[in-house]
Structure 1
Amino acid sequence: MAFLVDITSHLNHLNAQLQGRDQTVSDLFAHMNAFQRKLVLFKEGFSFSHPNLAHFPACEEMRRDVPECNKTFHKYRADIETLQEQFKNRFQDFYAMQPQIALFTDPLSATVSEQPPELQLELCELQSDPFFQAKGNERGILFWRLLPESRFPLLRDFALSMASMFGSTYICESNFSTMKHIKSKERNRLTDETLFHLMQIGCTNIDIDIQSIVHLQERPQVSH
């Protein structure tokens, strides 16, 4: 039970990291990589005759209260190995995309020969441009916004495709909750078009001065 409490705590922490807005596939991949490295550390800790329980506080407390339990902790190494295998199988798509994720995360350091042929020429120009070299401290979407579409059309399309990938269902679930709030039983006669516009307003991060927009209309529908 103590081991279950500790390992579940680590899984809950990972689950919280994978939620939230404004996370790209590369961010989620970083969280997954970090957790799998933690699993390697955990497995090594349970390999010794005197296990290292620094990251398992419930197990450490159990060892202090019942010292004879120390002889049984090594068996949880097999459980961690099983967890490693499950994560490897479940998230194998991430590893297949690793070159693309590396390119999206840090295009200035990406290996050109490992990228798709259609991107290689533009990538050579990008990595040789002193202006973009000076912007190397920018990361992710902030960097890709600097690229002019006329000069790097294929790289821009690539960045848009990576930025638009859904790494989790969090955004879908939160938007569904927004829709349920908008289309309540008191407003069940909203048309699909009006609902679409309300969803755009409800889900955007852009500050909108709705009052000013309403007052600019000739005959504003204040009931809406």
Structure 2
Amino acid sequence: MSRDIKDQVISEIKAAQFGLLALQLDESTDVSSCSQLLVFVRYVNAGEFKEEFLFCSPLETTTRGEDITRKVTHNEEGLSWENVWGVCTDEAPAMLGSKSGFAARLKEVAFGVTVTHCMIHCQALASRTLPKELHAILNTAIKIVNYVKSMPVNSRLFKELCKVLDSKHQVLLFYTKVRWLSKGNVLSRVFELREELKIYLDMQGKESIFFSAPVFEPRLAYLVDVFDQLNKLNLKLQGKDKTVIHFVDSLHAFIAKIQNWVRKINAGNSAMFENFCEVVEGEKELDPCLQNEIINHLQNLGQEFSRYFPGLESIDLSFIADPFNTEPDSVPDPDQDEYLEMKFDSGVECLQKDISVQEFWAQISASYRRIDKRALKTLLPSSSTYLCESGFSVLLQIKTKPRNHLEVEDDMRCALSTVLPRFDEVVDKKQVHPSH
């Protein structure tokens, strides 16, 4: 079945519009300490964008750029890597190294390739900035969680206390640094169970240690609110079939929110932070020190987003997102005549109203090839390694400790591919078992 799925995918790639394809790839270590390289491919076939599993292959020795390049470019399927138009991966030196990384080596055979650092990863990195006062609150929350969950008896006692108090939750969540949403989820659970934690820690004689920080609760409430917003942004960036337009729009909106929050906090208005507003309710005005901490944090957060997403404001995708309400100057000179022909084609305009941006550009190549190819070169490259990350989750389920010697590529292809096997052809190729 895996071989048949692979044959179908390779055939579709070879027949892709304009021969263009884009890759997203990442590397991770499985349960047997073997490094696995996971590669997905994105292309346009039969008038629709497709994202498919390409291969999963172990890196037997080292994980350098040359090892990754060898795995990707040396294939038996006869794919033309000169047509690779986009590559998305993480910022590991083996991937994005300027001299010997995979991206640099790929550019030697794919001259027009665009290399992108996963935008979800960039968002997670930009979200790490915290002033020392707020970072101390985060560390305190983590210490509280670790104290309660460090011993099974503590966890059981706290759970029973939550049951008696009829709490919404009964357990705390461990903080895991490598998980994108962990920080926000841990803080949210600590805040929701803060009264129960006060009672429990008081019974243990620990409350003065953990809750003695000045304005602890308002600071904790603010962290819960701001990380909730960051988690929402992260979740919005996740998912299949996302184009650069979606990422740019989401990031523009979030940066505008940060600027609005700074303006509101400067005016003493905290209504946009629900939990924080609830905690400070009744106070005539915000504590000046806390107000400055929040403003500094939000300003630094905005600066970090600008650093990790340079040139975001200058990106103009208007002619792709809304081609019939754009000026010709937004299109390069050689393509403007064809663009104007398309703009005043009423049939094409009606088509654009009923389908998504991706579907529209995937379906008009027969009539407007030049402008369509330019749009596909922008829409095709992946902006995140979401498929790889979700693929590694599947790998954890397939390759377990009892099955640690398993060769996983065929199983991964059957689990992750959207292409169905042609069962009739698979069966026809098998010899019927004779009777005894």
TM-score strictly above 0.5 = yes
> Secondary structure at the residue paired with 2:363?
coil
The partner residue of 2:347 within 120, 131, 134 is 131
Q: Percent same amino acid among aligned pairs?
A: 23
**CA shift for structure 1 position 176:** 4.3
| Residue 21 in structure 1 maps to residue 240 in structure 2 | yes
Shift of 1:145: 2.4
Cα 1:127–1:198 shift into 2, 3 Å:
farther
Q: Residue 108 and residue 119 in structure 1: after superposition, are their counterparts in 2 closer, same or farther (change >3 A)? A: same
Of residues 120, 135, 155, the one that matches 2:371 is 155
Q: Which has the larger radius of gyration?
A: 2
Q: 2:274 matched to 1:57?
A: yes
Select the residue among 408, 418, 428 that pairs with 1:205.
418
Question: Hey, which of these two has a bigger chunk of helix by percent?
Answer: 1
Q: Any conservation in 2 of the 1:105–1:139 contact (CA below 8 Å)? A: no
- 1:168 is matched by which residue type in structure 2? S
Q: What residue number does 1:172 align with?
A: 388
Structure holding more strand per residue:
2
**Counterparts of 2:396 and 2:334, CA distance in 1:** 43
Residue by residue over 1:85-119, the C-alpha shift from the partner in whole angstroms, topping out at 9 and shown as x without a partner, is 221222124334x22x2222122222211222232
Using structure 2 for the length normalisation, give the TM-score.
Answer: 0.43
Q: TM-score, normalised by structure 1?
A: 0.78
What SS does the aligned partner of 2:313 have? helix
In the alignment, structure 2 segments of 5+ residues that lack a partner are 1-218
Output the CA distance in 1 between the equivalents of 2:234 and 2:430: 49
Measure the CA separation in 2 of the matches of 1:54 and 1:154. 50
Separation in 2, partners of 1:40, 1:200: 44
In the comparison of the two structures, how many residue pairs are matched?
207
Match of 1:140 among 346, 353, 357: 357
2:230 and 2:418 map into 1 onto residues whose CA distance is 29
Indicate if the aligned counterparts of 1:62 and 1:69 stay in contact, CA closer than 8 A.
Answer: no
1:71 maps to: 287
Secondary structure of the corresponding residue to residue 104 of structure 1: helix
Structure 1 segment 189-200 matched on structure 2, within 5 A: 195=409
Distance 2:378 2:413 in 1: 22
Q: 1:63–1:70: 8 Å Cα contact kept in structure 2? A: yes
What amino acid maps onto 1:52 in structure 2? Answer: N
Q: Which runs of 5+ in 1 are unaligned?
A: none
CA drift at 1:34: 1.3
Q: 1:115: which partner in 2?
A: 331
**d(CA) in 2 for partners of 1:168, 1:116:** 27
Superposition CA RMSD, Å: 2.7
Secondary structure of the structure 1 residue equivalent to 2:241: coil
How far has the Cα of 1:15 moved from its partner?
0.8
Structure number with greater CO (CA < 8 Å, separation at least 6) is 2
Q: CA deviation at 1:211?
A: 4.0
Contact 1:104 1:140 in 2 (8 A): yes
